[in-house]
């Protein structure tokens, strides 16, 4: 059975303090760096980072953007993000509770980013999340995530969809297009990871 939002939040809060040091895969580094580059916010622009976790992407964009808003469901991950923002002296970044389908944002947003988070949602939930992001009317949405461009070969570890439920790249592109975005770039880091850039 699909994990509830509260289950996901608890699971991440339990590992929040060790989360950063565990992100040592080449795929994570490649996706994070591409998401940061593609976001490319202007100095007056507002960036929303959904599923911000400990703020890796949000904090990397703080020097370039006017304002950065991080949203997540895990209070433990948000606490880490706030601690790092304070240590770095970033006063234009704020972190708070918000979820993909209810981002809890009441300001105009120019760029939405999300890295390694949307794959926790089922495909119909991802579609609803993409519609909620489109409703914020950003000029760009950059999604780095686990996404499948080929079936996982038999014998290799499969995902447990109640926790990790990556979509096929085509499913994401179709949902973005249906929500009014034009997918301007698809970069596949491997058969299981990629970055999509969607513009309006
Ligand atoms: C693997 S971490 C990625 C964190 C960060 N974006 C990064 O690149 O390191 C996934 C994050 O997504 C959050 N998350 C899971 N489901 C969510 C939802 N429905 N809405 C918002 N955040 C969610 C988790 O709490 C967790 O902090």
For 141, how many CA atoms within 13 A lie in the half-sphere containing its CB? 28
Per-domain residue ranges for the chain?
A: 5-199
DSSP secondary-structure letter at 120?
A: G
CA of 53 to the centre of ligand 1 (A): 5
Q: Which phi and psi (to 5°) does residue 176 adopt? A: -65, -45
Q: What is d(CA 163, CA 57) in angstroms, rounded to the nearest whole number?
A: 22
Q: Which of 13, 39, 51 to mutate to test the pocket of ligand 1 (most atoms within 8 A of CB)?
A: 51
Ligand 1 pocket residue status of 175, Cβ below 6 Å: no
- SS3 of residue 2 by DSSP: coil
Fold classified for 5-199: Rossmann fold (3.40.50)
Query: 125-132: long-range contacts (C-beta < 8 A, 24 or more apart)?
Result: 125/100, 125/101, 126/100, 126/167, 126/171, 126/172, 126/175, 127/175, 127/178, 128/100, 128/101, 129/50, 129/100, 129/101, 130/172, 130/175, 130/176, 130/179, 130/181, 131/179, 132/100, 132/101, 132/102, 132/103
| pLDDT values of the chain reduced to their tens digit, one per residue, 200 residues | 778 999 999 999 999 999 999 999 999 999 999 999 999 999 999 999 999 999 999 999 999 999 999 999 999 999 999 999 999 999 999 999 999 999 999 999 999 999 999 999 999 999 999 999 999 999 999 999 999 998 898 899 889 999 999 999 999 999 999 999 999 999 999 999 999 999 99
Ligand 1 atom, smallest distance to 55 CA: 5
Distance 10 CA to ligand 1 centre (A): 12
Sole residue written with tokens 């209810």 = 102
Determine which residue's CA is closest to atom 18 belonging to ligand 1.
99
Establish how many alpha carbons lie within 13 A of residue 122's alpha carbon, considering only the half-sphere containing its beta carbon: 8
Helix (H, G, I), strand (E, B) or coil at 4: coil
């Amino acid at each position: 059975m699909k994990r509830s939002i509260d289950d996901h939040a608890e699971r991440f809060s339990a590992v929040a303090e060790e989360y950063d040091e565990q992100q040592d895969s080449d795929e994570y580094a490649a996706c994070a760096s591409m998401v940061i580059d593609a976001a490319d916010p202007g100095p007056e622009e507002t960036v929303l980072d959904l599923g911000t976790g400990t703020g890796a992407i949000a904090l990397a964009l703080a020097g370039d953007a006017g304002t950065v808003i991080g949203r997540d469901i895990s209070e433990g991950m948000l606490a880490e993000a706030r601690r790092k923002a304070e240590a770095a002296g970033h006063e234009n970044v704020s972190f708070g509770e918000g979820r993909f389908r209810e981002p809890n944002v009441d300001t105009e947003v120019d760029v939405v980013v999300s890295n390694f988070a949307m794959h926790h949602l089922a495909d119909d939930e991802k579609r609803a999340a993409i519609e909620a992001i489109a409703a914020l009317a950003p000029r760009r949405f950059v999604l780095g995530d686990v996404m499948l461009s080929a079936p996982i070969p038999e014998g290799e570890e499969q995902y447990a969809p109640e926790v990790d439920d990556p979509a096929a790249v085509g499913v994401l592109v179709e949902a973005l297009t249906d929500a009014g975005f034009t997918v301007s770039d698809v970069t596949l880091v491997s058969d299981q990871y990629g970055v999509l850039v969607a513009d309006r």
